[in-house]
Structure 1
Amino acid sequence: MPRKSLRKGSGLGTAKPSSAPNAVPESNFRILADIGGVMTAEMTVEAWIALPNHPHQRNTARHARAVHLKQAKQAAGAVARQLAHVVAAGLDGMYYKVDGHTRSYLWEQGKLPRPAVLHVTIYPVSSRAELDALYEVFDASTAAKTRYDQVYGGFRECGFQPRSKRLKHGFLNDALNIALRGGIRGQQSRALPEVNLYRAVDVFKRELELLDGIDPEPRPFYSGVVAAALIGLALYPPERVLEFFKKLQNGEGNRKDGRSDPVDAVLNVIQHMTLEKRAAQTTLQADLCARTLRGLLTWLAGPESQRNQYWLKTSIHAINLEPLLGEMKAKKGIRDDPAL
């Protein structure tokens, strides 16, 4: 599907966030670099304050009373410089705050010293859903941000330079946890150590490179679908696996006599989750992975196979992930590695 630029309309029917009535022109940014579509820029504090908040932003005034923000008022040196770094997103020519809402409020109220200039990272997004997903990542706990940094650091360590919109920002924490443990961190036993994300990226470097090669988009490549692709590429002939996921991306499912082939069945699951506004919920991603893998295995076996029904009249069922994860870990030699 065609890629959308930062400055052009996406053509999608998704409405722009209703709580952001005023566009802020790009002229308010002084662009420093544009690498792979991700911009770095400078702007004044006044221009940042004028930038519309993301509509999901919580009670900023209450959040401004948090302990770490009280400490930020006395920040100096490198810490103060970090506070001058904020994150924005561009959708259809409009720009929104993604990270830095509370600092904006404190600067406006005169409760936090104003930097002379702000350094802004600007992510282009192609839909409201992608904007929301980006916000959720930055709105999560400090630990989640650290995990993002670990994934990105893993890219650098193993020499992986993703180019696709879905992978290049490094939002793979949930996908890697599902691909290795069968669930996001919150669904795992607390007795287990956290997944070492630096090593996880290295373990799946080949699969990530293959997936990046088909230019996956954020939709339908939610975390569960990415996890399914990593597992599938690790276990089965990559050309065939990539063909399945290309069909998934392009919406090339088939129906016959009211029944869906495996591609269409997985697309139906994603569509229903999207309509119910559940597609990006982290707790549902392991189930989405298991359903996507069932679709992949059924598609690989073909319509003549007696093992699984190829043409489905009802929703596709989740496969048991545990045997597949065991097989994948054995193949990669990491079965007994507690960090993975």
Structure 2
Amino acid sequence: MERRIITTEVMEEDKAIEPNLRPQMLDEYIGQEKIKANLKVYMDAAKGRGESLDHVLFYGPPGLGKTTLSGIIANEMGVHMKVTSGPAIEKPGEMAAILNNLQEGDVLFVDEIHRLNRQVEEVLYPAMEDFAIDIMLGKESSARSIRLDLPHFTLVGATTRAGLLTAPLRDRFGVVQKLEFYTPQELTVIVRRSAQMLGVEIDEEGATEIARRSRGTPRLANRLLKRVRDFAQVKYNGVITKEVSDFALDILDVDKLGLDNNDRNILLTIIEKFDGGPVGLDTLAAALGEDAGTLEDVYEPYLLMNGFLNRTPRGRVATRHAYRHLDLPFIG
């Protein structure tokens, strides 16, 4: 598969600019209205009692704002945030050291929390429930366990694969919230806000066109905005209009509904090689030369959400909408 500008994973170019565009407080955050309303109640209640916020789990596709919401929680609660990730913590002692260095009320944000190994995860159980960790001293027959008290803290976990979380870990989160894809209207507001922060002049139609092709994902909207800005600067007069957005995004191979060549190739493979389906995931992955897990986790969610693809007990099926979008006669 080709390298995609519309990948929802963090690209190197995102790291330099994403933090500057992130809202810092809840009232600056656009979208996810139900989650915002719930978090406001939980945080206000915790502050009113003088307690730390209950542990929070955010899950959903990449690029929807899980890290941003974690930072907002820390800012709203007036505490510091420590950031780490599941793959970065390999040993139980590393997790114990992180927990022991937290201050009262701090937020510990663990991205990709589903990738914690079982031994590391078990350190979290007493930490989350009792704000304590058990440390083993000595070896073999002389070994003994001591309990070390921890400051009260809030663990915020983020995952794109909630189904991979173990039940003991999942059940220790008091607040569990699923982030949804954003509407084009919400993304238009985000694009205009980001453009203002970047000092880019953009009109409503230009912002709407970028939003429409951003696959419901703020990370993509901001990335596409930066690329369209380049075309506006070099090929036009610096102002992003619908004409500029159309021109730039067509060159970038992001079509009117946010599909790129990889998406279209998946649909065409199902239609042309497998008569529209059904075709099994492993068979489709082999035909595309792609890993089955990547196909299922990275490519399929958007195609499913927008009605281009159906999952059936017998495999994947291209929908009438897919044929229409690819300008092909439907084989029903």
TM-score (norm 2): 0.31
Larger Rg: 2
Higher relative contact order (CA 8 A, sep 6+): 2
TM-score (norm 1): 0.30
